């Protein structure tokens, strides 16, 4: 800043138009002049003294003005330096705040992605547990049905055998009764014949003896048949005992099957409890994810408000030379990235300058992720494409897209996999 300094101008001793100060001084001296002769003698020295005094006063006044101007320049320089330092400090603080908020947002997005992966793993584990449980229940049902069918078949066989044994037992008892009646009748007939022949001896003894032998043989035959029937009854009783033992074994087997069914039901209940725990864990993780997303939104809003407030405190924008230029990567860099990664296509245009100007107007946001500018030809026309970011999966890319400001989403950007681009 150029400042004009005041310079003391000396007053001539014999001026045709003296200043008011000189006139005042002369008037004062004239008032104290005792006589005209003395006034004439002392007029010239008084004028010299007055001019000298006036000159000294002007010099002192000039020096005072110069010192004040120097002091004012010093204060202005200090104030300017302080303002510049304040603006630099505020800009640095804003840049640091943006970087911290960007890092915090990336960390939160990373945590959200990790939480979503954990939720997906929990869902897969729950589905696998449910599939295994359904398979176990199906196997248990089939085994239970087969066991019930086997028990019913064995019980039916045992019931049929028991019916046959009862029928044979009744038939044998009927035969025993008939044989007893026949034996009693034979014995009575023998006694009648003996009595008859004793009182009426008409036949020869040999004939009587033959008839007695025949009767004895019949009696012996009846006795043998009775013994055989008794043996058959003993065999039937043994068969019945065996059948009872088989029924007892089947009942024991049924009891064991019921115990197995109880164990399997307990296992099913335990698996149901485990599924309930997994569902509770999934609900808790989803609540944490919702809370984390809400916190992210709040922090983003606070960051935007803080940035806006801090920007309002700066009256002048920083010089363009202090803002580092954006770094645009080309198609070679894009081809070097994994094909399963994702990028966000911000815009496409026939003018490369339009895309660079569009990106430069959002440099504070776009410099946080890689920017790629590629060129392609379509319908004999050259097109330029602007891609943003490099994300390992589609979920993280869509999350970043949802967090872009409205000014960047005015061209309706979309998520694209690197494999779908011309490599």
- What is the pLDDT confidence band of residue 292, given thresholds at 50, 70 and 90? confident
pLDDT at 347: 92
The helix/strand/coil state of 17 is coil
Do 381 and 330 fall into the same domain?
Answer: yes
Please state, in angstroms and rounded to a whole number, the distance separating the CA atoms of residues 243 and 161.
8
**pLDDT tens-place string over residues 195-236:** 766 666 545 566 666 777 787 787 788 778 778 877 887 887
Residue at 301 is within a domain: no
Do 278 and 339 fall into the same domain?
Answer: no
Please state, in angstroms and rounded to a whole number, the distance separating the CA atoms of residues 329 and 163.
96
* Beta-bridge partner residues of 348: 385
Do 223 and 136 fall into the same domain?
Answer: yes
Residue % of the chain over a pLDDT of 70: 81
Do 178 and 229 fall into the same domain?
Answer: yes
- Taking all residues of the chain, what is their mean pLDDT, rounded to a whole number? 77
Do 239 and 372 fall into the same domain?
Answer: no
- What is the pLDDT confidence band of residue 64, given thresholds at 50, 70 and 90? confident
CB 243 within 8 A of CB 169: no
> 423: which residues sit within 8 A by CB, 6+ positions away?
334, 335, 339
> 242: which residues sit within 8 A by CB, 6+ positions away?
none
- State the first-to-last Cα distance of the chain, in angstroms, to the nearest integer: 59
Do 239 and 376 fall into the same domain?
Answer: no
Please state, in angstroms and rounded to a whole number, the distance separating the CA atoms of residues 43 and 109.
97
**Mode of pairing for the β-strands spanning 381-391 and 371-378:** antiparallel
Last residue of a domain, one of 270, 294, 318: 294
- Residue from 388, 421, 393 nearest 405 by CA: 388
Do 288 and 349 fall into the same domain?
Answer: no
> 289: which residues sit within 8 A by CB, 6+ positions away?
112, 115, 116, 119
Structural domain harbouring 279: 112-294
Exposed / middle / buried, residue 113 (Cβ in 10 Å: 0-12, 13-18, 19+): middle
DSSP labels, 319-350: PGGGSPPPPEE-HHHHHHS-TT-EEEEEEEES
Exposed / middle / buried, residue 366 (Cβ in 10 Å: 0-12, 13-18, 19+): buried
Do 139 and 247 fall into the same domain?
Answer: yes
Total domains, the chain: 2
- Residue from 330, 327, 334 nearest 359 by CA: 327
- Residue from 414, 415, 418 nearest 331 by CA: 418
pLDDT at 416: 93
pLDDT at 167: 82
> 217: which residues sit within 8 A by CB, 6+ positions away?
none
Residue at 238 is within a domain: yes
Range ranked top by mean pLDDT from 23-27, 30-34, 322-326, 379-383: 379-383
Asked if residue 28 has pLDDT above 60, the reply is: no
pTM of the full structure: 0.30
> 369: which residues sit within 8 A by CB, 6+ positions away?
388, 389, 390, 400
Exposed / middle / buried, residue 346 (Cβ in 10 Å: 0-12, 13-18, 19+): buried
**pLDDT tens-place string over residues 102-146:** 888 788 878 888 888 887 887 788 788 778 878 887 887 888 788
Q: Which position has the token pair 């115990």?
A: 259
Do 371 and 413 fall into the same domain?
Answer: yes
Do 259 and 141 fall into the same domain?
Answer: yes
Mean pLDDT of 277-299: 80
CATH number at residue 399: 3.30.70.1070
**pLDDT tens-place string over residues 347-379:** 999 999 999 999 988 888 888 899 999 998 888
């Amino acid at each position: 800043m150029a400042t004009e300094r005041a310079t003391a101008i000396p007053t001539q001793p014999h001026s045709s138009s003296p200043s008011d100060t000189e006139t005042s001084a002369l008037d004062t001296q004239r008032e104290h002049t005792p006589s005209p002769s003395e006034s004439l003698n002392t007029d010239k020295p008084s004028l010299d003294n007055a001019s000298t005094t006036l000159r000294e006063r002007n010099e002192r006044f000039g020096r005072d003005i110069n010192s004040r101007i120097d002091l004012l320049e010093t204060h202005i320089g200090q104030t300017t330096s302080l303002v510049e330092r304040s603006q630099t400090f505020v800009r640095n603080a804003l840049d640091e705040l943006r970087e911290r908020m960007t890092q915090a947002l990336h960390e939160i997005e990373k945590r959200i992605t990790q939480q979503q992966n954990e939720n997906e793993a929990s869902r897969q584990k729950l589905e696998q547990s449910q599939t295994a449980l359904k398979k176990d229940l199906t196997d248990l049902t089939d085994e239970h049905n087969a066991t019930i069918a086997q028990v019913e078949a064995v019980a039916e066989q045992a019931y049929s055998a028991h019916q046959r044994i009862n029928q044979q037992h009744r038939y044998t008892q009927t035969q025993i009764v008939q044989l007893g009646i026949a034996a009693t009748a034979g014995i009575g007939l023998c006694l009648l014949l003996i009595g008859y022949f004793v009182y009426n001896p008409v036949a020869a003894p040999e004939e009587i003896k033959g008839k007695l032998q025949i009767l004895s043989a019949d009696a012996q035959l009846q006795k043998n048949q009775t013994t055989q029937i008794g043996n058959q009854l003993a065999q039937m009783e043994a068969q019945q005992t065996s059948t009872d033992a088989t029924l007892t074994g089947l009942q024991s087997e049924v009891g064991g099957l019921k115990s197995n069914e109880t164990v399997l039901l307990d296992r099913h209940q335990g698996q149901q409890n485990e599924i309930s725990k997994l569902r509770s864990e999934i609900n808790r993780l989803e609540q944490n994810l919702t809370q984390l997303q809400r916190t992210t939104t709040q922090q983003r809003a606070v960051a935007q408000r803080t940035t806006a407030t801090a920007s309002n405190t700066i009256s002048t924008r920083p010089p363009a030379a202090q803002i580092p230029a954006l770094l645009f990567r080309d198609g070679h860099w894009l081809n070097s990235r994994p094909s399963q990664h994702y990028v966000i296509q911000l815009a496409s245009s026939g003018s490369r300058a339009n895309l660079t100007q569009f990106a430069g107007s959002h440099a504070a946001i776009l410099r946080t992720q890689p920017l790629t500018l590629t060129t392609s030809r379509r319908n004999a026309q050259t097109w330029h494409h602007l891609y943003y970011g490099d994300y390992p999966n589609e979920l993280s890319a869509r999350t970043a897209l949802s967090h872009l400001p409205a000014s960047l989403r005015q061209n309706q950007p979309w998520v694209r996999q690197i494999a779908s681009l011309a490599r």
